Amino acid sequence: MVSWLPNGMADGVMIAMSAQNVIYCILGVTVGMVVGVLPGVGVLTTIALLMPLTFYIDPMTAITMLAGIYYGAVYGGSTAAILLNIPGTASAAVTTLDGYPMAKQGRAGVALFMTTIASFVGSVLGIVLLAAFAFPLARFALEFRSQELFALMFLALVMSSMISSGSALKAFAMVAFGLLAGSVGTDVSTGVHRFTFGAVPLYSGLSLVAIALGLFGLAELIRSANAKDQHSVVATDISMKAMLPTRDDWRRSWMPMLRGTAVGSFFGALPGTGGTVAAFVSYLLERRISRHPERFGQGAIEGIAAPEAANNSAIPTAFIPLLSMGIPGDAILALVLGVLMIHGVSPGPLFMANEPDMFWSIVVSFLLANALLLILNIPLIGVWVRILAIPQTVLLPSIVGLLCIGVYSVSYQVADLYVLVGFGIAGYLLALLHYPIAPFLLGFVLGPMMEENFRRAMALQNGDLLGFFHRPISAVILTLVIVILAATLVLRLRSIRRVRVAAATSD
Amino acid sequence: MLRFTKKSHDVLAGVGLAALGLFAAAEAYTYGLMRFGSIASGLFPFVVGLLLAAIGLAIAAGAILSVSAEKPAAFAGGRAVLLLPASVLLFAVLVDRAGLAPATFAATFTSALSVERSTLLGSLLVAACVTLCCVLIFRFGLGIQVSVFKW
């Protein structure tokens, strides 16, 4: 093999570009877009719905397909955001701010085109960062012991609770609930059955697929089944001529794209934050530095280019901590991690050192997925518009069929279907009560890993809890966690008091 | 239609979570917290359970103390709330006994009915088509090990 290339790169490229992988990537991108474009179906739901499809193929191909599904879902979300004014995904919510006004001005085609370009630019730059930083970080992380891993996971849980919309307290409750759900089953270090209450199917723990599909699939279906507001697709001129941005559009878009990429790469790599935060921050940044901030919200093309680039560059950079340290930054990556582990792949410094070819094949399949979307998305916009018009009466039963068979076929356990129903109802109720669901999933996936690392660390420290502060990196991270928690508590108490004082004086 | 005020459902949910946390902590306690000087199976869930109980009580207390306007929260979703979980349960009951096709048909038909605009004939038709597609994709396309019909 060519010796000047990084170790395993040539092999990885060969694997990713094999005919079989390319076909599955095309398949992944297509189904990802088809499902992702559906109103109310987010990236997480799309991946949850489609991940059973990857269980029948070998891990390498499955990862390629998963990458395709992930990117397809993100692109699909943006398309729905522009054409319908309802974001298919949370991070596409920002795109609706200027995308929908553009659609109403008859410039939906331009908006979709620029979204595709900005997403592509953001993704490719993010992938370059992933390729550049994953190995150095993994070498650094080889020094990590259980203390550091525990501290990092703790940070990811706290950060993801802080940024979820609404009450941080409710998010913390969901994290704790998720951690508890993660401890159901046989304790790997002692063999004790926890929270199984004698039910044999629970010995192996709750099924990730069933939980994810319950919380994000079934719950979402119940809520959207009879949603009052029926959205209508904006009539769109989708001829190629109407879609091409003007010279002025290009001139105003390229700098925001680059700034968006920078913002997105930063927030993507940070544990706990991700595409949604990146998109919001980059939108606010563009409005702040614009000479005409009043144009934002009225169909400013910068308001699409920047957040779309940010959102998409956050995806590959979020894989930097996931692949090099084994730590998922948000719920979507927690799900991806779960799927990887089902396929027998456990990311981390050892994975990077021992299986560089697999790493490179992931990088290349990201590139492949983006290139495919660039080619497929624009000519197929007419098809996506038609998918948006599929009536509920056909859509809903199809998704239910997919849900049932998908969950059941993972391990042919009827019990998994009961878990699906239970978490479907729980997810529906929790969403009604404004509890964020994503922190639950992160807690569920991280729980067993945190417990194991905590135990190992405590054994190494001879049971001394303060041992976590004797190692510099874990001490810094844990101090950060404590500062964040304390600051939240103080701010919360202060806001309660202020509201009460205000209420008392107004009476 | 069920209606709760925002305040009362926050209190209710907080207390519910606290109860869940306490129950988990009590159950975890029976697994043992420490064993021969090292951490046993119960410690982690015990601590997390107590944490959940504390957070739940804080949510409930915050809701009682807060003076926010009490917005009623409506339970959206209509009959789908019952029919969609029921459709999955039907699938669960039928798939081992009757096979993939009857189970999928029952589930998709029931879920089709949960859309308020649906008609009986339309739902039957949709369910039949979806069942056919699912069987073709999963049984013959992906090759899952479930018999299509069992008698």
List pLDDT tens digits, range A202-222.
888 899 889 999 998 898 888
Enumerate the residues of chain B whose CB falls inside 8 A of the CB of residue A496. Answer: 62, 65-66
The alpha-carbon gap from B53 to the nearest alpha carbon of chain A, in Å, equals 9
| pLDDT, tens digit, 9 for 90 and up, residues A435-468 | 988 889 989 999 999 999 999 999 888 888 888 9
Amino acid B1: pLDDT: 39
Q: Which residues contact B85 (CB under 8 A, 6 or more apart)?
A: A218, A222, A421, A424, A425
Q: Do B130 and A195 touch (CB under 8 A)?
A: no
The alpha-carbon gap from B151 to the nearest alpha carbon of chain A, in Å, equals 19
Query: Would you state the torsion angle of the CA atoms of residues A308, A311, A317, A321, taken in this order, to the nearest 10 degrees?
Result: 180
Q: How far is residue A67's CA from residue A28's CA, in Å, rounded to a whole number?
A: 7
Q: Name the residue facing A225 among B44, B68, B80 (closest C-beta).
A: B80
Altogether, the residues listed in chain A come to a count of: 507
Q: How far is residue A176's CA from residue A426's CA, in Å, rounded to a whole number?
A: 15
What DSSP character marks residue A244?
A: S
Give A71 or A38, the one with higher predicted confidence. A71
| pLDDT, tens digit, 9 for 90 and up, residues A129-166 | 999 999 999 988 888 888 999 999 999 888 888 776 66
Enumerate the residues of chain A whose CB falls inside 8 A of the CB of residue B85. Answer: 218, 222, 421, 424-425
Please tell me if residue B112 touches chain A, with a CB cutoff of 8 Å.
yes
**In chain A, what are the helix, strand and coil shares in percent, each to the nearest 5?**
75, 0, 20
The alpha-carbon gap from A44 to the nearest alpha carbon of chain B, in Å, equals 20
Q: Which residues contact A286 (CB under 8 A, 6 or more apart)?
A: A256, A259, A260, A296, A302, A303, A306
Average confidence (pLDDT) over A293-319: 90
Instruction: Give buried/exposed letters for A246-256 (b at 16+ CB in 10 A, else e).
Output: eeebeebbbeb
Q: How far is residue A439's CA from residue A396's CA, in Å, rounded to a whole number?
A: 26
User: pLDDT > 90: what percent of chain A?
Assistant: 30
Q: Three-state secondary structure along A257-307?
A: HHHHHHHHHHHHHCCCCCHHHHHHHHHHHHHHHCCCHHHCCCCCCHHHHHH
Count other C-beta atoms under 10 Å from residue A86's C-beta: 18
Instruction: Answer for the pair A195, B24: CB distance below 8 angstroms, yes or no.
Output: yes
Enumerate the residues of chain A whose CB falls inside 8 A of the CB of residue B127. Answer: 397
Q: How far is residue A398's CA from residue A410's CA, in Å, rounded to a whole number?
A: 19
Q: Do A428 and B77 touch (CB under 8 A)?
A: yes
Strands A193-194 and B38-39, sheet pairing: unpaired
Which range has highest mean pLDDT (A72-86, A339-353, B88-102)?
Answer: B88-102
Q: How far is residue A479's CA from residue A500's CA, in Å, rounded to a whole number?
A: 32
Q: Do B134 and A405 touch (CB under 8 A)?
A: yes
Count other C-beta atoms under 10 Å from residue A299's C-beta: 20
Q: How far is residue A347's CA from residue B32's CA, in Å, rounded to a whole number?
A: 32
Q: Which two tokens stand for residue B45?
A: 């869930």
What DSSP character marks residue A185?
A: E
Q: Name the residue facing A414 among B44, B96, B138 (closest C-beta).
A: B96
Q: How far is residue A400's CA from residue B88's CA, in Å, rounded to a whole number?
A: 8
* N-term to C-term CA, chain B: 42
Residue B5: strand, helix, or coil: strand
Residue of chain B whose Cα is closest to the Cα of A183: B45
Average pLDDT of every residue of chain A:
85
Q: How far is residue A224's CA from residue A244's CA, in Å, rounded to a whole number?
A: 34
- Please report, in tens digits, the pLDDT of each residue of chain B (151 residues total): 344 456 778 888 999 999 999 999 999 999 988 877 778 889 999 999 999 999 999 989 888 877 655 554 555 667 888 999 999 999 999 999 999 999 999 999 999 998 888 889 999 999 999 999 999 988 888 778 888 888 6
Q: Looking at the predicted structure, is the pLDDT value of residue A1 above 50?
A: no
Q: Do A404 and B107 touch (CB under 8 A)?
A: yes
Altogether, the residues listed in chain B come to a count of: 151
Q: Do A226 and B116 touch (CB under 8 A)?
A: yes
